[in-house]
Structures are given as structure tokens and as C-alpha cells.
Amino acid sequence: MDSDTTTCKSRDILSSRWRVFFLYWLPVIAIFVTGPLAISSGWRTAVWTVALATMGVACIVNALRCGRVHCYLTGPFFLLMALVALSYGLGILRLGENGWNLLGLITVIGAIALWCLPEMFLGKYR
């Protein structure tokens, strides 16, 4: 491992279990817990928007800190999904009765694809 890769890894948010928990797993848990709950659309909108925005900002910060390849894509994706969740929750965007399920499905598939595929072809760091 060369010194550039070592420096990138040491600056990578994903190298800290606590940071990963607070910046990614906690928001994911919040989304999954509030998804099926019988709560108001306002609460669901707030939780999903904050959770997705938190992950998006964390990814963008990580891309700038260490050059993690997938973060260049997942950051904007999560921010876009936060905007979509906010728009749907406020009634601006019409996604039908299963809109929250659709948003959850798109988020899961998009996150997995944007996490795995770029690093498979481009490596872990830039």
C-alpha cells in the first residue's frame, strides 16, 4: 500500500465505526423504523429528509476529505432523495399512495448500486 492510499484511508470517515454508525446507520435505522409506522406524513417527511440529507452531506464531506470514489456519487444521490422525500411529504410531488415505499426502494437500490459499482471499476480512492 503506498503512502497516498494510507493517507486516504486514514482520512476516510468510513474507517471509524462510530462515525459510520452516527452518520449512516442511525439515519438508515430511522428511515426503516418510520417507514411502516403509523405516524403522520409530516413526521415521516422530517425524519426521512434529515436522515437522507445527513448521509448526503457526510458522503460529500468524505469525498472531499479522502477522495472515496462512491461518495462522489452517493452524496448527491442522497441529497436528491432528501429533496424528493421533502417534496413528496409536502404534497408538491405526486407519487401515489405507495410513494414512501417507492422512495425507500429507489433509495436502497440506488445506494447499493452507487456504492458497489464505481469502486468495482474505478477503485476505492481518487
Assess whether pLDDT exceeds 60 at residue 1.
no
Burial (CB count <10 Å: 0-12, 13-18, 19+), residue 96: exposed
- Give dist(CA 67, CA 125) in Å, integer: 5
- Give dist(CA 88, CA 80) in Å, integer: 12
Q: Select the more confidently predicted residue: 103 or 14.
A: 103
pLDDT at 2: 56
DSSP 30-49: HHHHHTTS---HHHHHHHHH
Distance of CA 37 to the CA centre of its chain: 21
Average confidence (pLDDT) over 52-57: 98
CB-based contact 114:77 (threshold 8 Å): yes
Task: Please tell me the pTM assigned to this model.
Answer: 0.91
Assess whether pLDDT exceeds 80 at residue 6.
no
Query: How does the average pLDDT of the chain come out, rounded?
Result: 92
